[in-house]
Amino acid sequence: MAQQAALIYSLTPSRTFHKPYLLSSSPRFVRISAVQSDIKSLPQRNSLSHNVTQLKELTLPSYESEDTTTGIDVDAVTEAELKENGYRSTRRTKIVCTIGPATCEAGMLEAMAVAGMNVARINMCHGNHEWHRAVIKRVRRLNEEKGLAVAVMMDTEGSEIHMGDLGDGVVSEKAEEGEIWTFSVRACGSERPERTISVSYDGFAEDVRLGDELVVDGGMARFEVVEKIGPDVKCQCTDPGLLLPRANLTLWRNGSLVQERNAMLPTISSKDWRDIDFGIAEGVDFIAVSFVRSAEVIHQLKSYINSRYYNKDVAVIAKIESVDSLGNLEEIIKAADGAMVARGDLGAQIPLDKVPSVQNTVVQLCRQLNKPVIVASQLLESMIEYPTPTRAEVSDVSEAVRQQADALMLSGESAMGQYPQKALSVLRNVSLRIERWWREDNDHGTINLPHIATSSSDRISEEICNSAAMMANKLEADALFVYTKAGEMASLLSRCRPDCPIFAFTPSTSARRRLNLQWGLIPFCLNFSDDMESNLNRTFSLLKSRGIIETGDLIVVVSDMFQSIQVIKVP
Ligand SMILES: Nc1ncnc2c1ncn2[C@@H]1O[C@H](COP(=O)(O)OP(=O)(O)O)[C@@H](O)[C@H]1O
Ligand SMILES: C=C(OP(=O)(O)O)C(=O)O
Ligand SMILES: [K+]
Ligand SMILES: [Mg+2]
């Protein structure tokens, strides 16, 4: 889709377009204490422009891996950002970048990580296992050598109906108004007859009816079905446009999306299952499932992972892009570990003007249910071709940041665009600017967070996190610290969207990478004990020695092990 837009643009060159420590470890009640007198006002340690200058340095020194039994793993990118700009100015909104030909080499991957990429996404619609394996290995090496925690997300192809390849070397074909094109379920091979396009779905010729509208890539070109001859469907072009290899196809009849036998196609195809086995074997952190229609498929995949790969830590993200998902949003999001508003295909399945409200609904629902949410597709589409975004694109990005989505995603902009780093820096700068504006604007109202815990212990954790976040805001704390094994308490704090950043300490490298997708979390790898006093002393001295925190910083602390809140001024 992105590639198509790029080519269309090139056809239209005129662009119109702190020391009390633990007071109680009793899990049944919570004592809160604040031993601190002079809450300092926060220095404005820096301005936004500083971020940019600092991030021009695109390569990192190689990293001496800390002995995590004694040390603390924090990457140079986070460290530099915290030191340079102060806690308040760290970016809260995370960034997912689709990796493609423009960004797959080791140097570019490093540059993207330095510029703020939190998650690298590989799309199984494109490339082969060899290509994807090489990318995953490069990201892993980067993490090991540079001490980074870039997570990898694998996105399934799903059973969408799409066009075939156009043949060797053919990057696009232009369909003109009035022309008759043949869409056929026969494989065309290398001798593809003129104006003939193969279709991925065998039932296509049976499902279509005369007069149906065939929409390519959500409206980049349109056809009307005029004749059916066995496997061939003759269509007349009504809206001219470019046809790109593997472009998505939807059928419309009397203004509604046609779902016939194609609705029976499995959400996870046999190819997807092979890709999923491949991804898990290669150690991906997230699997994003395309075209999810109901919670069932998510339950199925999660139980498959739990039974077959019980020792693997893989999170499942439900992509909201199918019209059928819209009636089952709550169950789908509850079943999954997170969601993606996949606006590309969503916009091909529902009227475009409905996409913004669905985005808002999914983002708010995810926040309520405590699941990370990614806003994806076409955020900076014009930057595939141009070095500057349109004002409308900047407004779209700022709206997603204002909604406090966990993450923003680049697709074609980073996969095959000409300015992947520039696009990433636009996402960074807009996020920083809007986040600051949001914090400074006291009138953001209160969002009602419903109780989500089912056990009494979870309920206590939830209340502790809600209270800790509120205290941190009222006390204007410099940071929240959370000691968490699987990450749950960190998520609960992130859900409150506090004013200060959340330092999440976890002994698990995979939990650290997974937390990298969540709003406001700065994940550190640290082996900690059940002795909170010693954990805190160690953390303070390690972070102080690296210049990340200073004596006098006000910290609100919670942990998985002890249901308490501590307010501490760094000694
Ligand atoms: N692994 C890859 N190999 C080649 N091209 C890719 C790859 N991943 C993405 N791309 C290119 O980047 C574009 C945008 O990526 P994405 O939005 O993930 O896919 P799609 O456009 O199929 O939904 C794709 O259309 C494709 O041209
Ligand atoms: C993110 C999306 O999915 P894909 O890029 O895989 O089509 C989308 O459709 O917006
Ligand atoms: K996909
Ligand atoms: Mg999609």
pLDDT tens track for 405-444: 999 999 999 999 999 999 999 999 999 999 999 988 866 6
User: How many angstroms separate the alpha carbon of residue 281 from the centre of ligand 2?
Assistant: 23
What's the CA gap between 418 and 415, in Å, rounded?
Answer: 9
How far the first Cα of the chain sits from its last, in Å, is 55
C-beta of 345 in contact with ligand 2 (< 6 A) = yes
- Grade residue 218 by pLDDT with cuts at 50, 70 and 90: confident
Tokens of 375: 């806003």
C-beta of 411 in contact with ligand 2 (< 6 A) = yes
Lookup result for tokens 């815990």: 453
Testing ligand 1's pocket by substitution, the residue of 99, 242, 416, 419 carrying the most ligand atoms inside 8 A of its CB is: 416
C-beta of 100 in contact with ligand 1 (< 6 A) = yes
Q: What angle do CA 536, 542, 544 make, to 5 degrees?
A: 95
C-beta of 147 in contact with ligand 1 (< 6 A) = no
Alpha helices by DSSP H, 484-566: 488-495, 509-515, 532-545
Q: What is the pLDDT of residue 191?
A: 75
- Grade residue 298 by pLDDT with cuts at 50, 70 and 90: very high
pLDDT tens track for 505-548: 999 999 999 999 999 999 999 999 989 999 999 999 999 988 88
**Secondary structure of the chain: what % helix, strand, coil (to 5)?**
40, 20, 40
The ligand 2 atom nearest the CA atom of 411: 5
Q: Which residues, other chains included, contact 301 with Cβ-Cβ below 8 Å and sequence gap of 6+?
A: 268, 276, 287, 289, 316
Q: What is the pLDDT of residue 563?
A: 85
Q: What is the mean pLDDT of residues 340-351?
A: 94
User: How many angstroms separate the alpha carbon of residue 344 from the centre of ligand 1?
Assistant: 12
Q: Is the pLDDT of residue 321 over 70?
A: yes
SS3 state at 79: helix
C-beta of 123 in contact with ligand 2 (< 6 A) = yes
Mean of pLDDT over the chain:
86
C-beta of 374 in contact with ligand 2 (< 6 A) = no
Alpha helices by DSSP H, 120-186: 129-146
Q: Which residues, other chains included, contact 242 with Cβ-Cβ below 8 Å and sequence gap of 6+?
A: 4, 7, 8, 11, 172, 173, 174, 175, 220, 221
The ligand 2 atom nearest the CA atom of 378: 10
Q: What is the mean pLDDT of residues 295-311?
A: 94
User: Which ligand ends up closest to the CA of 103?
Assistant: 1
- Grade residue 245 by pLDDT with cuts at 50, 70 and 90: confident
Name the DSSP class of 478.
S
C-beta of 157 in contact with ligand 2 (< 6 A) = no
From atom 3 of ligand 2, which residue's Cα is the shortest distance away?
A: 342
Least confident range of 13-27, 69-83, 235-249: 13-27
Please, which residues have CB less than 5 A from ligand 3, an ion?
Answer: 123, 125, 155, 290
- Grade residue 380 by pLDDT with cuts at 50, 70 and 90: very high
Q: What is the mean pLDDT of residues 551-566?
A: 93
User: How many angstroms separate the alpha carbon of residue 317 from the centre of ligand 1?
Assistant: 19
Q: Is the pLDDT of residue 473 over 80?
A: yes
- ipTM of the predicted structure? 0.99
User: How many angstroms separate the alpha carbon of residue 138 from the centre of ligand 3?
Assistant: 21
For the chain, what percent of residues have pLDDT higher than 90?
69
Please name which of 494, 517, 297, 513 lies closest in space to residue 407, comparing C-alpha atoms: 517
Least confident range of 324-328, 373-377, 531-535: 531-535
Q: What is the pLDDT of residue 568?
A: 96
523: phi > 0 → left, psi -120 to 50 → alpha, else beta; which?
A: beta
From atom 2 of ligand 2, which residue's Cα is the shortest distance away?
A: 342
Q: What is the pLDDT of residue 522?
A: 95
C-beta of 125 in contact with ligand 2 (< 6 A) = yes
Least confident range of 158-172, 234-248, 353-367, 546-560: 158-172
Name the burial class of residue 545, with classes exposed (0-12), middle (13-18) and buried (19+) by CB atoms within 10 angstroms of its CB: exposed
Q: What is the pLDDT of residue 446?
A: 62
A 10 A CB-CB count for 321 gives 25
The ligand 2 atom nearest the CA atom of 160: 7
Q: What pTM was computed for the model?
A: 0.87
C-beta of 272 in contact with ligand 2 (< 6 A) = no
What's the CA gap between 19 and 65, in Å, rounded?
Answer: 31
160 vs 4, more confident = 160
Name the burial class of residue 202, with classes exposed (0-12), middle (13-18) and buried (19+) by CB atoms within 10 angstroms of its CB: exposed
Q: What is the pLDDT of residue 67?
A: 47
